[in-house]
Structures are given as C-alpha cells and as structure tokens.
Amino acid sequence: MSIDSEIKLDFKDVLIRPKRSTLASRSEVSLERTFKFVNSGQEWTGIPIMTSNMDTTGTFEMYDVLSKYKMLTCFHKHYTLNDFEIKNSKTKLDKEYYCLSTGIGDDDWFKLKQIVQLLNPKFICIDVANGYSYKFLEFVKKVRKKYPQMILIGGNIVTREMVEELTLNGGLDICKIGIGNGSVCTTRIQTGVGYPQLSAVMECSDGAHGMNSHIISDGGVQNPGDIAKAFGAGADFIMSGSLFAGHDQSAGDLVEIDGKKYKEFYGMSSSNAMNKYYGGVAKYRSAEGKCVRVSYKGDVEETIQSILGGVRSTMTYIGAKRLKDLPKCTTFIRVNRQVNDLFK
C-alpha cells in the first residue's frame, strides 16, 4: 500500500486565466487540426471532438450531422454487419469521420474482421472499461498486427506508464483517458478506482507527446468550458456522451412527463445496457453505470454550434489562434467556485 499525496485536479477545480490577445473575433481562430499518427503512419485533419461510443450517442444519425462539421462519431460496438451494409448502401460512410468500436472477446474479433472487410475504415477503437488488463494489451497487439495501416484508439487508462506501454508495445496511435468520470458511470462508487480527469489528461498527454503519440480525454466534460480546459491540459481529442445525449440523433425513447420531454441515457456498464445486450448482469459482477432521463434538446446542430462557439471564445480570451496553440497559451488557476449559481 502507498499514498500519492500530490493533489490531483478535475475540471471543476480550475478556471483558465485570461491574457492579452490580438484576436478581434472568434472568426479568426481555427478549430481544425492535422495529426500524423506514430504507429499507423496515417494523417487526419478535422475538428478533434467526437461522440462517445455509447449506443445512445454513437449512432448513424449522429454521424450524418457531425461529419458535416468534420467531427468524429465513434459508432457503438453493437451495430451488426447487416446494419453497416444497409447504412453504407444508402449513404456511403466517409472513413475520415467515423470510428469502428470493438470489445476484446472472440466474437468481437470475428465481427470486427467482417466489418473491416466491408468498410475498410480508417479508425478502430478498442474499448474496455479497464485498459490495464493483460488481455486488453494482447488484443491491441493482435489488431495492430492484422491492420498495420489503421489508426488504433484504445482504453480506458489514466496513467503515463500505461500510455507508454500501449503505445510502444501495443501499437496504439491514440490512448483513451478516463476512468469513472462519466456522467452515467458509477465505477468510482462501485470500485473506488479512478483519477481526477484534468490531472489524468495532463499526465498522460505529457507521456504521449514525448513519443509523438496522442490522447483522447474521454468523459467528465459538462459544458464547452470543460472541453476547452481538456484541450488546454494537453488533450488532442475530446470524447463526450452526455453533451450529445437527448437529441433527435440520439437513440432512446422520447417520453413526456408533466409536459416536459426527456430521452433515456445510460452507461454501457449499467444494468440497462447489460440486460439489453447480454441478457442481464452476470452473477460474478455488478453494474457500473446508471440510467437517467435527460431533457430533450432537439436537433444536435444547436449543441454543436454551442460547443464550437464556446471553444472559439476561450481561444480569443487567451490569444490562441489555432487549437494546437491552446495548451501553450493556457494558465490554470485553482478555484473553490467556478460560477455564480444564484439562478439555476
């Protein structure tokens, strides 16, 4: 047993200090980035914000809108080969703006190979709750060997040494950072395991960038300001589920309660998800997610504009003309209150 007594911080613990800026308008800043990935050798250009690969947000309908903004949709792993065949026959999927997801079981491997043969995607996301397992590392190696030219995303992890292991020995291009920080995740409650997200992003980005590799900050963002903080802390990509939940393009039933409309949103380790896809929660484990109703938000385009507008505004406050410049222009200040919440 040991204790790391250094204080670790979350998005709620800091604000970004403004600086003198020559930028006169939000229209002067650029949110697009171009990355070259260390293990695949591939390049990608776009706005590095993506939906989580949850079955309520990683949908074909979400892709139809986000792709217009050069943003990524990480499709949930429960789409079948037939689902992709039907979608691709109606509207050819642009490989620049979506990512396939897979688990690490034998059935996942079999299905992944079928879908890759159909689509020849650019991105594959190997998604597990615990990226520290030996089985996960071995699966990452297997996928890299089979598909050396594809951009591989994997996680979730929260520490520098695992970023180094998965990049150097596993072959990942992008490590997914975040454990227990999602809005419908209960891992920290059930297990006591986790890491404050801002500090995790800072630590892992430092490790990744030293190897010319990249990270995604996955989860924990509640608003556009948190997205800006994640970029400022060194994240290359941001992934969110909650910000994209509750829209027309999100899956889930639309219900009306006392005259107000809601949509269902749940974690992929919740009992709701496991009942839906696996016939229930296995007796040797517990659910690590919850189900909530989120207010119906209409078309996702309005949310996208809010997110992009918020990040652009952050950049004008600190003089960052390019998204790439945001970390070097960011100074965090620790706070005990972020906002005046008199009128909630």
Instruction: Report pLDDT digits (tens) over 143-185.
Output: 999 999 999 999 999 999 999 999 999 999 999 999 988 888 8
Mean pLDDT of 297-301: 97
Token pair 């010319």: residue: 212
Residue 252 has pLDDT above 90, yes or no: no
Q: Do residues 321 and 31 make contact, with C-beta atoms less than 8 angstroms apart?
A: no
- Report residue 22 as tokens: 């020559």
Residue 324 has pLDDT above 80, yes or no: yes
Q: What is the mean pLDDT of the chain?
A: 94
pLDDT in tens, 110-154: 999 999 999 999 999 999 999 999 999 999 999 999 999 999 999
Q: Do residues 322 and 288 make contact, with C-beta atoms less than 8 angstroms apart?
A: no
Mean pLDDT of 300-311: 97
Options 74, 125, 175, 185, the catalytic residue: 185
Residue 185: the pLDDT is 85
Residue 71: the pLDDT is 98
Distances (CA, A) of 159 to 29, 148, 175, 207, 263: 32, 25, 10, 9, 34
Question: How far, in Å, CA of 281 to CA of 186, rounded?
Answer: 15
β-bridge pairing 43-46 and 49-51: unpaired
Which has more pLDDT, 180 or 199?
A: 199
Token pair 């696996």: residue: 278
Residue 51: the pLDDT is 97
For residue 108, which amino acid is it?
Answer: D
Mean pLDDT of 283-299: 84
pLDDT in tens, 33-48: 999 999 999 999 999 9
What 3-state DSSP class applies to 58? coil
Residue 293: the pLDDT is 87
Report the greatest alpha carbon distance in the chain. Answer: 60
Within 8 A by CB and 6+ apart from 90, the residues are: none
Residue 97 has pLDDT above 90, yes or no: yes
Q: Which of 9, 6, 51 has the alpha carbon at shortest distance from 335?
A: 9
- Report residue 289 as tokens: 């997610």
Q: Do residues 9 and 329 make contact, with C-beta atoms less than 8 angstroms apart?
A: no
- Report residue 207 as tokens: 């490790």
- Report residue 96 as tokens: 């620049």
CA angle 37, 51, 262 (to 5 degrees): 175
Instruction: Identify the burial level of 218 via C-beta atoms within 10 angstroms of its C-beta, where 0-12 means exposed, 13-18 middle and 19 or more buried.
Output: buried
Residue 272 has pLDDT above 80, yes or no: no
Options 51, 57, 73, 187, the catalytic residue: 187
| pLDDT band for position 188 (cuts 50, 70, 90) | confident
Residue 278: the pLDDT is 75
Least confident of 34-38, 254-258, 266-270: 266-270
Within 8 A by CB and 6+ apart from 257, the residues are: 293
The DSSP line for 260-292 is EEEEEEE-TTSHHHHHHHHSS--TT----B-EE
Task: Write down the pTM of the prediction.
Answer: 0.95
| pLDDT band for position 64 (cuts 50, 70, 90) | very high
Question: How far, in Å, CA of 216 to CA of 176, rounded?
Answer: 5
Mean pLDDT of 44-56: 96
Mean pLDDT of 282-308: 88
The DSSP line for 211-226 is TT-EEEEES---SHHH
Q: What is the dihedral of CA 215, 80, 291, 288, to 10 degrees?
A: -60
Residue 187: the pLDDT is 83
| pLDDT band for position 282 (cuts 50, 70, 90) | confident
- Report residue 205 as tokens: 């980005």
Please name each of the domains of the chain with its CATH number. Answer: 20-334 (3.20.20.70)
Distances (CA, A) of 223 to 189, 199, 334: 23, 18, 18
Residue 280: the pLDDT is 73
What 3-state DSSP class applies to 23? coil
Residue 268 has pLDDT above 80, yes or no: no
Residue 8: the pLDDT is 95
Mean pLDDT of 279-298: 81
Residue 264: the pLDDT is 85
Helix 224-232 to helix 300-318 angle (10° resolution) is: 50
| Catalytic residue check, 74 | no
| Catalytic residue check, 187 | yes
Residue 273: the pLDDT is 67
Question: How far, in Å, CA of 139 to CA of 153, rounded?
Answer: 12
